[in-house]
Structure 1
Amino acid sequence: MHSTLTATKWRISSIDILRGLVMIIMALDHVRDFFHISAMTEDPTNPATTTPILFFTRWITHYCAPVFVFLSGTSAFLSGQKKTKKELSAFLLKRGLFLIVLEIVVINFLIVFDPLYRFIGLQVIWAIGVSMVLLSLLIYLPIRVLFIIGIAMVVGHNMLDGFNYRNMEDIPLWYAFLHQQLFTTYGEGRFFAVLYPLIPWPGIMLLGYCMGTWFVKEFDPVKRKRLLLGWGSAAVIAFFFLRWLNVYGDLVPWTTQKDTTTTILSFFNVTKYPPSLLYCCMTLGPALLALIWLEKVKGKWSEIVMVYGRVPMFYYILHFFLIHMLCVVAFFATGRPLSDAASGNFAFRPNDFGFSLPVVYVVWIGVIAILYPICKWYNHYKSTHSQWWLAYL
């Protein structure tokens, strides 16, 4: 009995470690947005203008959103082991609606620092919220049916690429919600953006929910590792094979560039908005393989990383607030006048403001270090208290 309980705890810890890793990496991209000199004026993944290190700085963070959404589905399944289907459905519905409101009211403010909400963007928390609402309705279906729906959304949604609108002004709101980014106005001087079109995010969450069946204590750990290895390897192989064919699976084909290095960058520069099939294969495949290794990981570093993974939403909110506040400090420390505070996309972040990439990495490490004791305290508080709101944050 003792070994079974230990194995169960360790399997769940591997999920927390992986989630913690992607949360840490995610902060790098957001620090880059606020602190890198070219973040507001250049695309870091454009092979024609980027550098390998800048490309990698952006590319490595591609793993964050899909892995987080996927593991959210896994966590939903595991939490459902202690609930009836009706209780789990009700919880997912309420938490999904909560996340949608959180995105609009809190996250938008922390990113832009505008109490008048002259910019509202629907990003990853919105996509997670809607996916949870849909999951709350679908969990009554058999796991095999949920898997088929998830696979169909992830593999087949690029068929919609041919229906995308050439001009953003022509995109209907309903289609933007589903499959194509939209930037528009909703009043004089007010802007609205669908930054994370919905499809295939619910499919990714459904697949993560299905994977939860591999992590219950009754499941054979040898079989679980074999499944993780098989599906993870298949996704990685599918990425390289389909990307090489250059026919299906991504909105933007790769092209031969001026040299080998930039051609390689073009090959790996897959579409995130919405996440293409190849994007999902490139990120979720290695994530499944990582879960095999993380089951055997021991050491202080894994315990530290696990702290971030156990309080992801709390961390997510705090890290945006901290990064933006540090940007405000840097804004005034560099002698910028207050009149420049509203000249960029974010308050106190003019488009011509910023620093070199090494500074971005230093700030990123500082953000992670500052948040650790706060997240550790909250993780302890959450594990020793039972207030209803703790399940939502």
Structure 2
Amino acid sequence: MKTAAAPGLRHSAIDAMRGIAMILMALDHVRDFVHADAMAFAPGDLSRTSIATFMTRWITCFCAPAFLFIAGLSAQRRLAHQGCARGVAKFLATRGLWLILLELTVFRFILDFRLLGGNPLLVLVLSALGLSMLALAPLVAVLSARTIGAIGLAIVLLHNLLDPVQAAHWGALAPVWLLLHQPGAFGIAGQVVVVGYPVLAWFGVLAVGFAAGSLYDAGAAKRRHVFLAAGALSLGAFVVLRAVNAYGDPSPWSVQATPAFTALSFLATTKYPPSLLFLLMTLGPVLLGLAWLERHPLSISHPLVVIGRVPLFYYLAHFLLAHLIASCLAVARYHDVRMAFFSGPFPSLGGSREAFPPDFGWPLGVVYLAWFGVVLALYPACVGFDRFKGRYKDSWWAGYL
């Protein structure tokens, strides 16, 4: 009789799915730095966007939900591997704080090459993940994975009921609501804090992912079946609820001038914060992708797996490389090394439009070439960093990289 393998931290399907998300994510961020239209309008603005620009942005919408869901899976696999709920809770809390610190320091510098100078503090995906881990930590110590998953699912399904509540209703506690559910800005000790990723719905995704991690204690066939069924149900629910236009997203779709743009309106769900329909639309393919990767496992040396094994390194490095490429393109075009091209945010990232030439930015084709260059350049770096982590995998600090 075959015996079950001891639960481990690594599964190639999980790493490969995360690798796919990381590669697609780079396309969106390269677009932010390079694309001319990114300097002028949001890609989801149907009055100004093109189909190509919209879809370039839309295909990357899967990344953040995949990242949070897989982070939950990984947390549960750590618990299954270590068997110590308090130890995992401590790890989640400290890693959460570490991610927040990185976003407020290292990532802040990478984004605009400044540490000082009145830059706002940004609550983006690393902080959302960090805060979600901080929220998950005490629950892991006292609740079962199934209960945590039920809490997360309830948040995902019901959080849009909170949309009518505005931060202004909270008075002095308005910043709490901004951090939980409503994008916006507030001041603290003279510092502006901009919340782009309110954490409530993202915590729900993390918690659902944590519960789903228990499937890796079951057989691969059962896991595939559950992921397939859940993915199909998610996409089916998205189509039905979106068609009804009654609940699940604060921005209803509408008939546009052409059928193609009507379809874009149907797909244009809300990411900040992620609506129920946005999460159904994006997590459905993630679940189907996990099921497919279970049936077609990749080797640990496959590029998708390698990149998926070093997500934090890749995340910071690809932002740095995208920024450098955009700055070098600017110098090559304008023969001007003014610090406006290197220090301070680009117009698409909150910078002053007046500080840049009126024709600043490049066509979408350049975006795709730059994206290909970023991924190609980072792959050998990811291989080396993965090997470095492997040499020190038993060190306490390795899990924070």
**TM-score normalised by L of structure 1:** 0.92
CA distance in 2, matches of 1:2, 1:336: 67
- The AA in structure 1 aligned to 2:155 is M
Q: Does 1:195 align with 2:196?
A: yes
- The AA in structure 2 aligned to 1:181 is P
Query: What pairs with 1:58-207 in structure 2 (closer than 5 Å)?
Result: 58-83=57-82, 84-116=84-116, 118-139=119-140, 140-164=142-166, 172-184=174-186, 191-207=192-208
- The AA in structure 2 aligned to 1:13 is S
Q: Does 1:354 align with 2:354?
A: no
- The AA in structure 2 aligned to 1:37 is A
Q: Deviations over 1:317-366 (max 9, x none)?
A: 11111111112211211125316435743599947421000000000000
Q: Deviations over 1:92-118 (max 9, x none)?
A: 111011111111111111112112052
Query: What pairs with 1:264-275 in structure 2 (closer than 5 Å)?
Result: 264-275=263-274
| Pair 1:226–1:298, CA change in 2 (3 A) | closer
Q: Equivalent residue of 2:247, what SS?
A: coil
CA distance in 2, matches of 1:339, 1:366: 24
**TM-score normalised by L of structure 2:** 0.90
CA distance in 2, matches of 1:298, 1:16: 11
User: Percent of counterpart pairs with the same letter?
Assistant: 38
CA distance in 1, matches of 2:76, 2:172: 39
| Pair 1:354–1:186, CA change in 2 (3 A) | farther
CA contact (8 A) 2:149 2:209 kept: no
Deviation at 1:38, TM superposition (A): 1.5
Count of residue correspondences: 388
Q: Does 1:253 align with 2:255?
A: no
- The AA in structure 1 aligned to 2:19 is G
CA distance in 1, matches of 2:334, 2:28: 25
Larger mean CA deviation between 80-89 and 176-185 belongs to 176-185
Q: Deviations over 1:216-270 (max 9, x none)?
A: 2xx1222212211111111111100000000000010001111111110000000
CA distance in 2, matches of 1:142, 1:368: 39
Q: Equivalent residue of 2:40, what SS?
A: coil
Larger mean CA deviation between 323-332 and 13-22 belongs to 323-332
CA distance in 2, matches of 1:302, 1:21: 15
CA contact (8 A) 1:95 1:129 kept: yes
CA contact (8 A) 1:13 1:306 kept: yes
1:378 aligned partner: 385
| Pair 1:299–1:133, CA change in 2 (3 A) | closer
Unaligned runs of 5+ in 1: none
Q: Deviations over 1:138-160 (max 9, x none)?
A: 11212222121001110100001
Q: Deviations over 1:116-173 (max 9, x none)?
A: 0522211000010011111111112122221210011101000011113699x99921
Larger mean CA deviation between 291-300 and 381-390 belongs to 291-300
CA contact (8 A) 2:33 2:322 kept: yes
